[in-house]
Structure formats: structure tokens, C-alpha cells
Chain A
């Protein structure tokens, strides 16, 4: 235990006692999100004078590293600079120079001057800081991942940015921006040999330098992760999935990732006046096409036609973007099962190589929309915990989400089996939810429809009543939605399915369930229903998760009790 607990004193002072869970401590370092300084890597503020001579020893970063520090600094102020340029009208480059670049260069040179690292026998020691000096000790065996990034500029100068990650999640333990390739190789060799000595097991032969040859136009992010998880001897590589270009085009067509691009573009352009100009241009360009089309926009039918046309144009536009997005993001997608780890590599501009131990997968979720079914395809996503998956930077987190952006429907079962061989996917008996819930849904949607139609009524008068035609559709939708919800037990997992137009199926192994929740809102109680939700690590809250709605109260109660019983008989393993 890290902290000694003393009850007597805390009774008076109301102190917070934090307990560390020791089973994880052995192999995880810092499992909790709290900052536990007692665990490696340490941050020791250096006492002045005590160890000052150490500044002279140790290795330095690459001499060109100041350049990359400046770039990093400027990047983090990208939006403010953009605003300054566009909003200011372009005549304040001096301003930008004084406020961003000069301090950045100064900062970078100092950073380069004070940053030292040395490779000790069983730890790497990093010293940095001007006013507040930091000495950081990172034990080799704690280093889970070595992430290497190289963009073209890195390649020209023959350097790389190296990140050392422990299992704690969150930020990287140390970022070396930038060091030469030979230094990378040196560090890597040191870590590997130290690990090999520590674990006396064979180390994996993934070579970082292999990633350097991969082509990329603007930016390349190769990250090779060397997990210290218990690597077994059978290092057979098995290819789980490879996506040719045509599949990616289909994936783009099917999914609506185009919205992501649009949202992003609007986000960037919205900061500037580019957007207004763009729309002006667009208007000038498109208007002549429609000169002959005469739509009376005061007539509801005219508006309807206008909306329909707009929607179709928008859909085509979005789907095109979507295809581009999918191809660019997932170009050359390849998922390999390498002993106990899954390694994915993909990307056209930004190349990503990511590895996750199979044990870190918390749930598997499959989705199928109408187009998926037409093409007989599906998409599979996982939630992962620990390592870089838990980090706060969204970019890192997304690296390992879609294990199969698109996959043939007939291959899904086999794929899931290979993804998580320990899970039993066979459901003996599916449990439906309370079918009477369709009435609740219908009521809600009708209410929404009513609320929408009230303001419309002022504009369209009697035409508004045509919206009543939607009621049968609402009923159909509600009935189908409820009918498609079901859950089922397998011997070691819980599977939940829902959705009519877009089908979702989420599989949670019992060992990964962290806690179970029973919810009964006001309307639930009136209808004698409840909701049971299952919590796992690394969940994407916006997406489909195991949260079974519309269960009869006593069934929900039984479900939570059963889950609690069964889950508490299993042990959660991190790796």
C-alpha cells in the first residue's frame, strides 16, 4: 500500500484517504486517474545546488530540435494566429512576429539548452526546466509504448519525435522533440534489452525503422508500440482484415462521415471570413443554372420542392465528402493479429500504426444501417482501455476505434471470433423488452410533432394538418424500434441489440463490466418499466452501449441482480 491509513486522525480532520489497488500495481504502474507520485515515473523537483553538476552530463536532443519546438508552439496557437491574420486584415505580421514567433524561438532554444536525458542501467532520466527544474525517472520496464512520429521535415533532417508511454493512460510520460534516428535506435535497444533482462522473455522484433519507408505526402505518424504484456512465443501473424480501395469507397458511401468533414471545415472557416466569400462565389456560380427554374417560394409545394432539391444536393455533396474522408483516413487499412496483440495500420496522409493487446478490448459493437444491408456489409468498433486509448487527446483515442470500418456481413462472426476468441457469442435465448413501450414512444414522437407543427401552423395554416400523415409512420417506427430491442446472455458475455433502420449489436464480456446501473425515471415508473445500463472502461458515450431500455421493472431488477452476481464472480484483468 502506498499510503498508510490512520483512522484516528482522519476522524477529526476529515482527511481524504486514497487507496491504491495493489493487484494492478504490479503490472500497471498507475492505474488510477489520480496522480500518484509514489509510482514511477517520478517527478522530483531538483533542489538547487544539490545536483547541479548533473546538467553537464547526459545526452542532448538533436541540434535542430528548436525548430520543431517552435513548430509545436505555433501549432498550439494556430487558431489565434489564424484569427489574427484574417480578422486583422493582414497588416499585422509584426504583431504575430512579436507575440508568437520570437518568444517561441527563445523558448525553444532554452528548452534545447536545458533538456538532457541519460540512459541509466534500468531507467531513463530526463532533466528539463529553467526555473522549475524537473528530473524524471522512467523505469524501462514501465515503458509500454514507444511512439515514433516523422513528418517529411523530420525525414529531411533525419530525426524523429519520440514519445515514451507508460500504461497509465493520459499523457505520454516523456516527449523527446526531436532526436536523431541513431539516438532512437539506442533508446529502443536499451529499453528492449532491459525488458528482456527483466522479464527474461523474448522481445518482439518490431522494428521502428520499418515505418520510415512508408510513404506519406505531408505528415506521417508511425507509432510502434512495444507492450510489455506477456508476449508469448507463438508470434504468428494473422491477417484479420484488409480493405481494398473499392471497399473504402463503399464504406464512404454507406457511412455519413461527410458530416465530420463539413463540421470541421465550418469550424475552421467559421473563424475567418473565408466562408462568406465562399458562399458568395457559390451563389454567383450556381444562380445561372436556376434562372429557368421558377419556384414560387410562397406556396408550400414550392417550398417542399425546394427543400427536396436542397436535400438531394446536400446528400450527394455529403456522400462525396464521406467517400473522400474514408479513403484518406483508412487507405490501406490492415488489421493484423500479432501474437496477443492487434495491430492496425492505415491512412493516406497521416499514417497510423497502432497496437492494442487483445485483453484491452472492453466491448465490441457492430452497426448496420440500411445501406450496409443493401451492400451486405457492417462496421465494427471496439472500446479500449488503458495505454493510449485512455488519453485525453481525442486524436489518440480514436486511433483504435474502428477495427473494421467496413466488413462483409457474412464474415462478421468469424472476425469477432478472431478479435476476441475468449468470448462466447452464442445466445441461447434472446430476451425481448416490454412490447407495450411502443405506446410510450408514439406518445413522445407525437408530442414532438405537435410542438414542431405549432409554429408551422402560423405560416402554412391548414397545410400543417398534412403532417398528421406522419402519425402512422411514427407508430410503425415505434413498434419496430421496440420489437428490435433485445438482449441475451452467453456463457461469458451480455449482448444487446437495438435499432430498426440502423441496427446495433454490442457485446460486453462479463469480465469487462465495471458496474451495473438500474434507472427508473418518472415515466418509466408510470409504465412500470426500467432501464439497466452496464458500465465499462473507455466507453464512447455518444455511441451504442449496453443500456437496455423498456424492461418490465421486475425483469430489470432480475437483470441487474443477475449481472451483479455473475460479474462479481469474475476478475477484471487489465492486460
Chain B
């Protein structure tokens, strides 16, 4: 494996992406959440608020998702919301018609408030948190992903264990020129590890780098 080459590219990306992301991401927040272990280590035995209880990201720098991922998450969650909303409405209308009643005003008010709250959470709060909470790192070692809001997860896939890689792009993702990187291993539980929301170019880059490495190995 040729270490120097890979890491230099990764660094270049770091610079690149952080510059891009500064428009969208609250950089201070990211810094507070993900920078070195000292700050977090001190918090081990104290209860700290949600935003700051994070895993130690280690000494190595991690990358955020591409800025286009945030609107993409929002749109996909909005679609989810729309589906839930329509299903709920249809169900309710059928129910009300079958009973031939008109709902009480408080019920309507409650439902509107509930739906607005849900809408806010699903379409604004959740995508933002998801966006901020997803960090990744690709280097000589392999791919390391941090994600999750309530259920925090980290995936570490060593390079030598990668079986093959998919780069996929849906229509909405194309619009924001982001992509989904799917790394397949021979494992069972995590036979494929998924990273959605990195720039398409980056995804292709990661893939190509793994490709190069394989050619080296094969020789």
C-alpha cells in the first residue's frame, strides 16, 4: 500500500470540504463535538447535554457530509412526512365517514399542533441533526463512519476487507450532486456499510482509490 499518496488526497479533501461546509454547518458546533479526546474525556463521568455527549473522534480528522446532503435529507424526510400525512388523513376520513360524525374542535387543534410539531422534527430538526452527526474518514486504513442521533453508531471497515463498492445516485441526490457510497464486506451483520450524502466526486474518488490499491495488491 502506498501510504503517502492516499493521505495527501484525504487531506486535500479535508480542506476542500470544510471550506464548502462552512456555509451550512455551524463549524463551532462541529469542532466542539468532534475535536480531540481531551474535551470529551473530561466529561466521562458527568451528565452532559445531548449535543455534547459524543464519542471521541480520536486524533484523526473526520469529514462532514457534502453540503448538498442537508437539503437532500430534508426533501427525503418531507416525502416521508407526506406519505405519513396522506395515509393518516385517508384513514381518518374513512373512519369519520363510516361513523358519520364531525370531529370535535379540540381534536382538530390537537392534531394540527401535533402534525406541525412532527413536521418540524422530521423535516427540519432531524435532517439537521443527522447531517451534523454523520462524519467520516477515509485513509490508508479504510473507511470509518460516525453516525446516529439517538442510537450512535460507528463503523470501521479496513481497506483489505472491502469486497466491492457501489456508488449510487438517485434523482434527488443527482440534483444536489451527492451520492451514496456502499461498501460491501464478506461479513454478516454489516455485509454492506452505507454512507449517504458525500459529494459524488468524492465518492468516485474513494472508489477509485480502492480500485488502485487492488491493482497493486493483485500484482
Contacts and interface: CB of A to CB of B under 8 A. Distances in A.
Given A564-B142, A564-B156, A21 B55 contact: no
B211 A5 contact: yes
A543 to B, nearest CB: 11
Interface in A16-61: 16-26, 31-34
Contact of A537 (B37, B160, B187): B187
A522 B153 CA distance: 11
Nearest to A574: B186
B: interface residue count bin: 35 or more
B46 to A, nearest CB: 9
Interface in B178-219: 184-191, 193, 200, 204, 207-208, 210-211, 214-215, 217-218
Nearest to A540: B188
Interface in B44-93: 44-45, 47, 53, 55-56, 58
Given A5-B208, A21-B163, A553-B55, A14 B169 contact: yes
A16 B207 CA distance: 12
A518 B188 contact: no
Scoring B158, B165, B207, B217 by chain A CB atoms within 10 A of each residue's CB, the highest score goes to B158
Contact of B188 (A23, A25, A526, A541): A541
Interface stretch (A104-112, A195-203, A239-247, A509-517): A509-517
Interface stretch (A347-355, A440-448, A528-536): A528-536
B158 A517 contact: no
A522 B185 contact: no
Interface stretch (B98-106, B107-115, B144-152): B144-152
Given A17-B166, A32-B184, A525 B156 contact: no
Contact of B152 (A34, A519, A563): A519
Contact of A564 (B141, B151, B169, B191): B141
Contacts, number: 157
B156 A516 contact: yes
B contacts with A: majority SS: mixed
A526 B162 CA distance: 34
Given A17-B166, A514-B187, A535-B187, A568 B158 contact: yes
A522 B207 CA distance: 34
B117 interface: no
B144 A564 contact: yes
B152 A520 contact: yes
B164 to A, nearest CB: 5
Interface stretch (A204-212, A328-336, A463-471, A554-562): A554-562
B185 to A, nearest CB: 4
A11 interface: yes
B185 A515 contact: yes
Given A19-B211, A538-B188, A560-B154, A565 B56 contact: no
A567 B189 contact: no
Interface in B9-42: 37, 41
Contacts of A557: 55-56, 58
B173 interface: yes
A19 B182 CA distance: 11
A519 B151 contact: yes
B164 A32 contact: yes
A283 interface: no
A363 B155 CA distance: 20
Contacts of A570: 160
B151 A17 contact: no
Scoring A18, A536, A539, A568 by chain B CB atoms within 10 A of each residue's CB, the highest score goes to A568
B123 interface: no
A563 B191 CA distance: 18
Contacts of B184: 32-33
Contacts of B163: 21, 24, 31-32
B160 A536 contact: no
B174 interface: yes
A1 interface: yes
Scoring B160, B186, B200, B207 by chain A CB atoms within 10 A of each residue's CB, the highest score goes to B186
B4 interface: no
A539 B189 contact: yes
B165 A19 contact: yes
A552 interface: yes
B77 to A, nearest CB: 21
Nearest to B184: A32
A33 B187 CA distance: 11
A525 B210 contact: no
Given A20-B164, A528-B45, A537 B214 contact: no
B122 interface: no
Nearest to A565: B141
A63 interface: no
A19 B156 contact: no
Given A16-B167, A19-B211, A535-B189, A522 B151 contact: yes
A536 B158 CA distance: 13
Contacts of A554: 37, 41, 44, 56
B207 A19 contact: yes
Given A517-B155, A572-B186, A7 B142 contact: no
Contacts of A525: 53, 152
Given A32-B164, A554-B44, A568-B160, A514 B174 contact: no
A62 to B, nearest CB: 38
B164 A514 contact: no
A496 to B, nearest CB: 15
A437 to B, nearest CB: 15
A26 B187 CA distance: 20
9 contacts: A5-B207, A10-B167, A17-B167, A21-B163, A33-B191, A516-B156, A519-B152, A520-B153, A533-B189
Instruction: Give me the 5 closest cross-chain CB pairs, A-B, nearest first.
Output: A514-B187, A14-B169, A535-B187, A568-B158, A518-B154
Given A515-B161, A541-B188, 19 more contacts: A10-B169, A14-B169, A16-B166, A19-B210, A26-B218, A32-B163, A514-B187, A514-B190, A515-B155, A517-B155, A517-B156, A518-B152, A520-B152, A521-B150, A535-B187, A557-B56, A564-B156, A567-B161, A568-B158
